[in-house]
Structure 1
Amino acid sequence: MLPRLLWAVEFIVACGEFVIVFLHTISREAMQAKWIYLPALSCSFRVDMVEVRVSPSLEEAHEELVRAFEARKMVVMVAECSVNYSGRTGSQLGNGERLIVLKEDGCVLVHRGRDYQPVNWQPSGCIFQSQVEKGTLVVKAIRPTPLESLTIVTENMHLLASFHLKDEAAFSLHATEEDMQRAILVQPDLIEAGLKIVDFEKKVAPGFVDIYALDREGNTVVIEIKKDPAGFPAIKQLSEYLKHLQPAPGRRLRPIIVAPSLAKGAQPVVAKMGIEFKQLGLQKAAEVLQSHASSDQKVLKGWLGS
C-alpha cells in the first residue's frame, strides 16, 4: 500500500527561463524532497487547496480573480502595476513591480520591495472587481462607506495565488499601561497638539497621577491611563485626584481618561462630570515606542559614524 503523501510548497524561485518550485513530502514511512522545474512563460498548479499561476495571461488572471472573489478567497499577486486612490483625498503611484494582497474580509495591501508598511491600502469591507480593458488588468477595491476606491492597473502578472486561510487563534499583545504612558511622554500629540508634559507619576494624596500636563492655553491637564476599557473605577480614581489639584489662576482643570475605549455605561457619566476621553490602544502605543526607538538608533549610528 502506497503511503499517503502530504505536499507543501516550500518556496518559489524564478531562475532564467524556469520557475523552480521546491516541494517536500511527509509520510509516516519517509520524508523526501523534490525539485520541480516549471516553464516560467506560463504555468499553473495546485498544491492542497492553493491555486498558483505563474506568469498567467491577463485574461487567465482575470478569470482566476473572479473565481477567487466569488469564493471569498485570499489572493496574493506579484505584478507590474500602477495604483490610484480616490476618496477623502487622492493619490497616484506610478508603474512598478509590487506585492498585492487581497484578503477575505475585503482589505487590500500594496507593498513595494522595501519598508514594512504598505504604500497603499484599504481597510476591510471593500468590494472587489476585476476586468480586462485596453490591454491591462484592472482590479478595483471599492469601499462603500465612506465612498473611496483603490484601482490597481496591471500590465504584467508574474504570480497569482488564491486560497483560504484557517486562523481562529486569539492575539495577545504583551504591552502595559506603562508602555502607553511612555508613548504619550515621547509623543504628547497622541493626546492633542501643543500638549506640554510637566510631570508623570505625580504624587497626590489619593495616589499618583499618570501624566500631569499643560495644554496650549495653560490649562492643567490630568491624565489617567487604562489599558482596558475604562469604567467607573477609573472615573472615581480620576475624580479623587481632582479634589487635590488646583489650576493656575484664570485657568481650569481638564481631566482626561486615556484608554482603548469606555466601558458600557460609562459615557453618560464621563460627559456629566466633564471628563474627556481620548482613545489610545496598546497596539498604537507599541508602534509609537518602536518608531522612536528606531529613530534613536539612527541618530546614534549617525553620531558614531561621524
Structure 2
Amino acid sequence: MRLVVARCSVDYTGRLTAHLPLAPRLLILKADGSVLVHSDGGSYKPLNWMSPPATLRTTERSAAEAEADPEGAWIQQWDVTHTKTGDTLRVRIHELIEESAHELGEDPGLQKDGVEAHLQALLAEHIHTLGEGWSLVRREYGTAIGPVDILARDAKGRAVAVEIKRRGEIDGVEQLTRYLELLNRDPLLAPVRGIFAAQIIKPQARVLAQDRGIECVTLDYDALRGMDDAESRLF
C-alpha cells in the first residue's frame, strides 16, 4: 500500500464527471489497483476513487516545466484508468508533502460479531425466546442432506426445525424447505414445522416462507446477549 499526502486536484471522467479543486488530501494506492482520495473529514468514505481493475500511468515534470504551464503548476500527474469501462481518475499533484509505502500482506478478513454460529448458540441457550415451555433437542441436528441448525420441541412437544441466518433470503427458505421434507419422513418426528430466524429477513423471503407454512422470526442479537431489554424501551 502506498500513502501520499499532497496538495492536489482530482478529476473523474467517464460515466460521470466530477472535480475536486486544489487542496491537501490523502491518496491511497492499494495493491489491487484501487485508488482512493480522502480529506480530513467526511468520515470513512473517500471523496473520489477508482475501483479495480485499473492501470496507473504517472507523468512527472520539473519545477521549471510546472511554472511555465498556464494550466497549472503541477509536478506529478496520475492517470488511473479502469480497464473495463475506460473511466479515468486524474490526480494532479502540486506539492508532495509526504509519501510512504507499506507491505501489509494477506488480510485474514473481517470477523463479524453476530454471525450465524453465534446466533445459533445464543438461540439454543435462550430457546424460550421462541415460546414459553420450549425445549432444545439438539444443535446441528444431522440429516442426510446436512445439519439443521436447531431442532426443538414446543410447549406441546411438537418438533420444530429452526434455520438461522444473519440475513434471511430466499435461499435460506429453500434450504429449510428441503430439511422439512426430509424430517417429516421420520415417524418419530413428524409432523415437523419450520421456523426461519434471522436478524434481517428480506420481504421476498418472508412471502415465500409464509406461502410454505414456515414461520419467520426476527432475532434481536443484543437482546439474546442480555445487552438490551426490549420491555424497558420507550419505543
TM-score by length of structure 1 reads 0.36
More strand by share: 1
